[in-house]
Structures are given as C-alpha cells and as structure tokens.
Chain A
Amino acid sequence: MDFQVILSILDATLRLSTPLLLACLAGLYSERAGVFDIGLEGKMLAAAFAAAAVAAVYGSMWLGLLAGMAVSLGTTLLQGVAAITLRGNQLIAAVAINMLAAGLTTFLGQTWFGQGGRTPALGPNGRFAPIELPFVAELSGIPILGPLYAEVISGHYLLVYIAFIMVPVTWFVLFRTRFGLRLRAVGENPKAVDTAGISVNRMRYQAIIITGLLAGIAGAYFSIAQGSGFGNNMTAGKGYIALAALIFAKWKPVPAMFTCLLFGFLDALQIRLQSARLPLIGEVPVQAIQALPYILTVILLAGFIGKAVGPKAGGVPYVKER
C-alpha cells in the first residue's frame, strides 16, 4: 500500500466513524443516566428520513438538520414516556421504537414521494458540502504532515467536526459539571440522588433529550451529508455498532472516540479490501471483517479482554419509595 492509499483509507475512516461517534455519545448520556438505549438505530433512521424529506421539500440543509433533530427528539421522548414515566421495560420500548422507525420511514417515504421509499435527490443547498480548512495551501509543502492535513483532516462536512468537538464537550459536561455528576449518580444510585432532593425522572429526561438531539444529528449525517437523500434502512445497523462501541469504550467519551475510529477504520478497510489477500492469513472474507466489531464486543463483554461494567442502575425504572 502506498501513502496515497493509506491517506484515502484514513479519510474514509473519519467519514465513516462520524455517525458512530455521534450515536455513541448520544447513547452515553442516556445509559450513564440509567436508561439503556438499544433504540439508537431507530432514532437515527427516523432522523435521517426527516432530514432528507425536509431538506428535499424546502431545499435547506439547516431546516433538514433541525427536522432530523426534532423527530429524533420526539421518538426519544416517546420512548422516555414508556420507559421512565410509565416504568415500562426499557428494552421493549426501544425494540418498538426501532421497528416503528423502520416501518414508518419506508411507508411515509413511499406514500409521500412514491419512489420506493427513497426521498428525492437533494440540490446543492439541501446538502452539507465539505469544508476546506484554512492553511491547506501553506502546509502542503511539508512532507507527510502536509498531505495528511489536506487529505485527512481538512475537507469534511461540518457535522464531522461537530462530532469530534462533542467528545471533549461531553467529557467536560459529564465529569466537570454539577449536571454531569448528578446525571452519572442517577445511573449509579438513583436513591441517593432522590434523597438529595433531585428528581430522578427529571434528570433522566434531561439526559435522554441530549441523547435525542445527538442521535438526530447522527441520522441527518447519513441522508444530508454523507448521502444525498434517504434510502430504505439507510442506517443499516450502525446504531447497534454504536451501541457496541459504547460498551467497548466502557461508557467513557474519549475511549468512545477511539473505538468509533477503530470501527470506522474496519469499515473503511472492508470496503477497500473486498476479499484482498493478506500475508500469512490468506484470503480474509469480507464478512469476517464486517462481523469483527460485533465479535470484539461479545469478547469484551464476556470479560476475556478487560471487563465492561455498565452503570449500576442501568435498565431499571426508578420507583420512589412510599
């Protein structure tokens, strides 16, 4: 592999890990607050559809992004009502949300646009364009670093940079603010938070609102940045990979970024490698690389490489004692 190939794989890595990272951070807020979220996939799918539909009709990517975030927030709140207020099973609520999104997006897409579930292709204003970072020309003279900056770091969609900025922001919010401390406490020991006079359910709603907004950006990324319009089942299981990444990163923001980069890299490699032969191993089936994030997660969860222990109160609706 020459340098140019490596650059293009790294470039693709950033592009592919962005939605994973956004969804992973979204899940981080929810799960840290004690609400298990296997519904990231559904939220992203709903957001991707809403963003593409609005961007196509009104010709504005900003309206599209807003619509995506709003719809994702709506689905999250529906899930919240079931899982927090009504104290229903968080997993069942999320399974329902995933199915609802899968069914409704295709159904509405077909009835509204009549293109087999696809939304119309977006014009230049309906879609995010790559951003050229400053100093590309000035740095191009430097060997290795110059092309690295020009090819890998620069020239991505705005949402890519937002995703990576969200990593330190999330770290700061969760570990350096009062809000973050309370949010984490609600996930570990809700009774203690309740005793301190803070409403557990209110904290959990605040957490999932952030989850909804971030998952909305992740979904919009699929249809109005990376792609140009919505296609059936566009998120293709990325919500579950994000969930895997979240567990793999042991519910921490910075490791989450590296895990998403790793999974994005595997994805980029898999596209590039389409049954290439590797030295020593021979031919690696593409499917093996596709399954790798899932296999790694299973192995990690089983405690064979480190131990992933989630928030203690995760998955349990809070019942105030009488």
Chain B
Amino acid sequence: MSARTPLPRWADIVLLPLLNLALAFLVSGLVVLMVGENPLHAVQVIIYGAFGYGDGFGYTLYYATNFIFTGLAFAVAAHAGLFNIGGDGQAYVAGLGAIVIALALDQTHWLLAMPAAMIGAALVGGFWAFIPGYLQAKRGSHVVITTIMFNFIAAALMVYMINRVLKPATTMAPESATLAVGGRVPQLRQFFSFFGYSPVNLSIVVALLALVFVYVLVWHTKLGYALRTLGQNPSASRYAGMSNSRLIMIAMTISGALAGMVAINEVMGVQNRLVLDFVAGSGFVGIAVALMGRNHPVGILFAALLFGALYQGGQELQFVIPGVTREMIVVIQALVILFTGAMEGLFRPALERTFMLFSPEQKARAVSVSTAESES
C-alpha cells in the first residue's frame, strides 16, 4: 500500500473544509444552471442582499446569532463524542422558559428580564437535552434516536402549550401574549441607525460571549478536558477515573442550554411573543455550521456568518430572480453538510498525495515509513 502522511495542520482545518465547501457551491451552481438561471448572477444578488446595505447586513447578523447558538450547541456535544441533533427541539421548548419569565418581568427593565429569561431558557433547553443524555448515560439508548424523537415530542408539546395554555383568551392566532416593555431586548438599530429595520438585537452580544465561553470551557477548563477525553476515547476517560455517564449528562445539558439561547433572540428580540415553530430549522443549520467550523468557536463564527448571509441573501434572491426560491438555500445547506460532514474523505487522499509530492521533507519521511513497513 502507499504510505499516507497526515496533512499539515493548516491544510486539515482550512484547506480541506474550503475545498469541500467549494464543491458544495459548485454543485449548487449546477442546480441553479439546471433550472435555467445564471448562478453567477445569483451569487451577486446573495452577496449584495447579505452585505450590501444596512438592513440586509442586520438580517444577516440576526440569522447568524441563531446559528452561532445552535452551532455551539452541536459542537459542545460533539467534543464529548455525542451527536446531538435535537437542537431544534431544545431551542423550541426553551421558548417556554423565556416567555414565562419575560412575561412575568415585562413591567420591569430588560436589564433584569433578559438575564432572568436567559436562565429560564437555558434551564428548559438544558433539561430537554438532559433527558436524552440521561437515557444515553444510564440506559444506553442511542442519543441520536432519542433526540430525533424529542424534536417531535417538543413540536407536539409546544402546539399544545401555545394553543391551550399560553394563548390569551382574546387572541385568535396561536401565539402567547405580547411583550410590551421590559421583555423586549434592545435592538441594535436603536444605537446604530445603519441597521435600518432589521431585527438584529443585543442577543448577538450574548452569542459572541457564548463563543468565548465555549472556547474557554472546552480548551481551558478541567471539565472541557474531561469532555474531550470522553469524546476521543471513552475507555481512557473511564480508566482516568472520570465518570463517563456524568460527563455525558453535563455535555448534553450545556448543549441544550446553548441551543435554548435561540429562544432569547427570537422571542424577546424579534417576535416579542411566543409563536409556533419560531426555531424554523435553526437547530439543523447548527449542524452544518458546526461541521464546517470544525467544532471550533472561530470556525463556528465564520460558518454562522456564511449561513446567515445565505439565509438573508436567499430571501433577496427570490425577489430578484423569481425562478430561484429560497429553498435553494436549504439545498446549499444540505450539500455543505454532505460534502464537509459525510464526504469529508473525498479530497483527503488526493490532497495527501499532493502534499507529499511538493514537500521533500515529508516525502523522505514517507519513504522511510513505507520501507519500515515493508521490512516488518
């Protein structure tokens, strides 16, 4: 067999994802071409729509806020070797925690209501992820299946809660009472008129803090070390005296709490009430964001911005080019997950060979390795 040397670090974390991303966009472009539209024009529209003017950029940041939270949620669990695809459901039920507290503190100030509601959302979202974590840790049920099931249970629960419990008798639409004063998170447009009418709000600051929090948690705390050990090798963490089941439950709870922050952005920052299906698939975008960002906060920030831009640009797209609807964005997102997540190995062998050709030092090492192998 041919000797394989690992890629240099920068190629592994930057070049490979970019190549896979390029492939995803190429295929998306072909789809656009197939329906008889010009993909380059589409790209132009998306870029202008997402960054070209204040409103558009504000919307990009607003979408990115959600994706940072769900991306981090997926990443924290992934570091512990857990595949949490229940971010959607966790963010959805977290809306309950957010709205109940926000409504109760509506007559006070947002400085009080926002942190309190964040705790509420984190507790409920965390709890919704804790159960699958508990079942994985103590009963051995696969966390993937349980979180899928919990997404559906969350959907049913929320329809019931919104229609039967939270809906005021006077409203017809399935939604909770409206937040009027303290329950509203300040909008960035109140400080910078640049953002026009876009809904980007203070939650984005929380999202940026969450990025720092996750970075410190995963790489600079004892708990983070334990979580990564569990993710890399569960037997190693067990022999090192860590409690794997405890770590699984902690990782899932943190993951769910992070996903729950989406509720703050949506409920208190944008809708000012709890509405049906406010998460709108953000949990699944978070999977793509985390995969692309290699589960690292810096990567997640850029990936979330990219997807935020795609979402906002996609909205614009359907006005400018009627033939291309915003579902095209879901297609791009799926292709990104496919190529950067599942088909990650597509370019790796070729890339490894290329690097061997161009690096004499590595080539020498590879030759020595392969001779050592053939001798043994």
Contact = CB atoms under 8 A, between A and B. Distances in A.
A303 B139 contact: yes
A247 interface: yes
Contact of B343 (A86, A102, A103): A86
Main secondary structure of the interface of A (DSSP, over half): helix
Contact of B153 (A295, A301, A304): A295
B34 to A, nearest CB: 9
Contact of B325 (A78, A102, A111): A111
B280 to A, nearest CB: 13
A95 interface: yes
B240 interface: no
A243 interface: yes
A235 interface: no
B146 interface: yes
Interface residues of B, number: 46
A89 B342 contact: yes
A93 interface: yes
B171 to A, nearest CB: 19
Contacts of A111: 35, 323-325
A89 B140 CA distance: 20
A104 interface: yes
Nearest to A112: B35
Nearest to A110: B325
A298 B135 contact: yes
A258 interface: no
Contact of A100 (B140, B144, B338, B343): B338
Interface stretch (B39-47, B156-164, B194-202, B263-271): B156-164
Nearest to A297: B149
Nearest to A83: B342
Interface string B278-304: 000000100100010000000000000
A100 B342 contact: no
Interface string A89-113: 1111101111110111011101110
B153 A100 contact: no
B153 A294 contact: yes
Contacts of B329: 103
B334 A99 contact: yes
Given A88-B345, A92-B291, A107-B328, A100 B335 contact: yes
Nearest to B148: A240
A38 interface: yes
Contacts of A88: 341-345
B141 A291 contact: no
Contacts of A322: 1
Interface string B304-342: 000000000000000000011101111111110110011
A288 B328 contact: no
A290 B149 CA distance: 12
A95 B284 contact: yes
B226 interface: no
A171 to B, nearest CB: 24
Contact of A103 (B83, B152, B160, B328): B328
A275 to B, nearest CB: 10
B170 to A, nearest CB: 21
Nearest to B141: A301
Interface in A285-322: 285, 287-288, 290-291, 294-295, 297-298, 301-304, 310, 322
A53 interface: no
Given A82-B343, A88-B341, A237-B152, A301 B135 contact: yes
A272 interface: no
Contacts of B139: 301-304
B160 A285 contact: yes
A80 B333 CA distance: 19
Nearest to B287: A95
Contact of B83 (A82, A91, A247): A91
Interface in A222-268: 237, 240, 243-244, 247
Contacts of B323: 111
A231 to B, nearest CB: 14
A111 B325 CA distance: 8
Contacts of B275: none
A277 interface: no
Interface of B: 1, 31, 35, 83, 85, 135, 139-142, 144-146, 148-150, 152-153, 156-157, 159-160, 164, 284, 287, 291, 323-325, 327-335, 337-338, 341-346
Given A303-B139, A303-B140, 15 more contacts: A38-B145, A38-B148, A88-B341, A88-B343, A93-B342, A103-B331, A104-B327, A106-B330, A107-B327, A107-B331, A117-B327, A244-B145, A295-B149, A297-B149, A298-B135
